[in-house]
């Protein structure tokens, strides 16, 4: 079955420290991978995506993600966390079939950045 | 671009009433998605339209839920009759059709059924 796993319900980081939010997927073929962020009482905002090419993808607000095909992972990273990065983060995968961009979402990881 | 527009932003209704949620996708996008988000079940895809045609409605929970897309710029999600367990945040998203295209989400409608 196709699935996305975000193994941590919450990640706590001190401001200024690097952060990593983990994501692994189980999808046949070569999927497209996405990260979204959700601030309180807001919709999901697109951060970045991996389609093909360089395994390190850079996105909005200084975030980046590394695609690792052998480990089927797509971890989200930022070199220096800000308190304003505190939010709910979703990893999603779009299985490559039929041109239909249905997204399979992970359960989400809550990031808390402490001053 | 104004982004995806949803209305109302908040809806409080009583059990048994009809609820209609509305969505205006980004101009030029030909895919539209309705999602439901709850604490218990997370983010669930309810239905997907491509060029105004419902393609995948396997996520629609039951016959009380229905969705329409009469034209490229408008979609509705209707719940009739509503039940307390329908309380959730409902999101609409739109995109271009290909698998690598990004879905853009609206701000959501927070529904509370008493």
Q: Could you report the per-residue pLDDT of A46-86, keeping only the tens digit for each?
A: 999 998 888 999 999 999 999 999 999 999 999 999 999 99
pLDDT given at position B100: 78
Q: Is A46 on the interface with B (CB under 8 A)?
A: yes
Between CA B60 and CA B66 the distance in angstroms is: 8
Position of tokens 């073929």? Answer: A29
What distance in Å separates residue A100's CA from the closest CA in chain B?
A: 5
B99 to chain A: nearest residue by CA? A101
**pLDDT for residue A95 is more than 90:** no
pLDDT given at position A72: 94
pLDDT given at position A15: 97
Spell out which residues of chain A touch residue B46, defining contact as CB-CB under 8 Å: none
| CB-facing half-sphere around the CA of B15: CA atoms within 13 A | 4
pLDDT given at position B61: 87
- Of B78, B75, B98, B96, nearest to B86 by C-alpha is B78
- Answer with the residue of higher pLDDT: B19 or B39: B19
3-state secondary structure at position A61: helix
- Find all residues with CB under 8 Å of B108, minimum gap 6, and list them: A42, A43, B6, B9, B37, B89, B90, B91
- Answer with the residue of higher pLDDT: A29 or B86: B86
pLDDT given at position A96: 62
pLDDT given at position B34: 97
- Find all residues with CB under 8 Å of A70, minimum gap 6, and list them: none
Confidence of residue B98 (pLDDT cuts 50, 70, 90): confident
- Of A81, A85, A9, A79, nearest to A47 by C-alpha is A85
Among A36, A99, A107, select the one facing B99 at the smallest CB separation.
A99
- Please, what is the Cα angle at A93 between A3 and B62, to 5 degrees? 65
Q: Mind listing the pLDDT tens digit for each residue in B35-88?
A: 999 999 899 999 999 999 999 898 998 899 999 999 999 999 999 999 999 999
B41 to chain A: nearest residue by CA? A107
Confidence of residue A99 (pLDDT cuts 50, 70, 90): low
Contact B42 A45 (CB under 8 A): no
Between CA A115 and CA A14 the distance in angstroms is: 6
Between CA B23 and CA B29 the distance in angstroms is: 13
Instruction: Provide, rounded to the nearest whole percent, the portion of chain A with pLDDT above 90.
Output: 77
pLDDT given at position A58: 95
Position of tokens 């809550």? Answer: A110
Q: If you write DSSP's letter for every residue of A67-79 in order, what string do you get?
A: EETTTTEEEEEES
Instruction: Provide, rounded to the nearest whole percent, the portion of chain B with pLDDT above 70.
Output: 99
pLDDT given at position B10: 97
pLDDT given at position A31: 85
Instruction: Provide, rounded to the nearest whole percent, the portion of chain B with pLDDT above 90.
Output: 84
**What's the mean per-residue pLDDT of chain B?**
94
Spell out which residues of chain B touch residue A91, defining contact as CB-CB under 8 Å: none
């Amino acid at each position: 079955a196709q699935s996305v796993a975000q193994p941590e319900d919450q990640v706590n980081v001190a401001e200024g420290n690097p952060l990593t939010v983990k994501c692994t997927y189980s999808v046949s073929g070569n999927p497209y991978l996405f990260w979204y962020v959700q601030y309180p009482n807001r919709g999901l905002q697109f951060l970045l995506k991996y389609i093909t090419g360089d395994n390190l993808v850079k996105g909005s607000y200084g975030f980046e993600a590394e695609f690792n095909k052998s480990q089927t992972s797509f971890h989200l990273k930022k070199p220096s966390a800000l308190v304003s990065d505190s939010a709910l983060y979703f990893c999603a995968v779009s299985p490559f079939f039929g041109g239909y961009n249905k997204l399979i979402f992970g359960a989400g990881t809550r990031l808390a950045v402490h001053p | 671009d104004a982004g995806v527009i949803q209305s109302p932003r908040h809806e409080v209704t009583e059990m048994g009433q009809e609820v209609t949620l509305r969505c205006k996708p980004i101009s030029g996008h030909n895919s539209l998605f309705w999602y439901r988000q709850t604490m218990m079940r997370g983010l669930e895809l309810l239905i997907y339209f491509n060029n105004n045609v419902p393609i995948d409605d396997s996520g629609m929970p039951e016959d009380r839920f229905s969705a329409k897309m009469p034209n490229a710029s408008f979609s509705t999600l209707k719940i009739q009759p509503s039940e307390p367990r329908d309380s959730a945040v409902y999101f609409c998203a739109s995109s271009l059709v290909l698998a690598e295209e990004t879905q853009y989400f609206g701000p959501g409608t927070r529904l509370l059924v008493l």
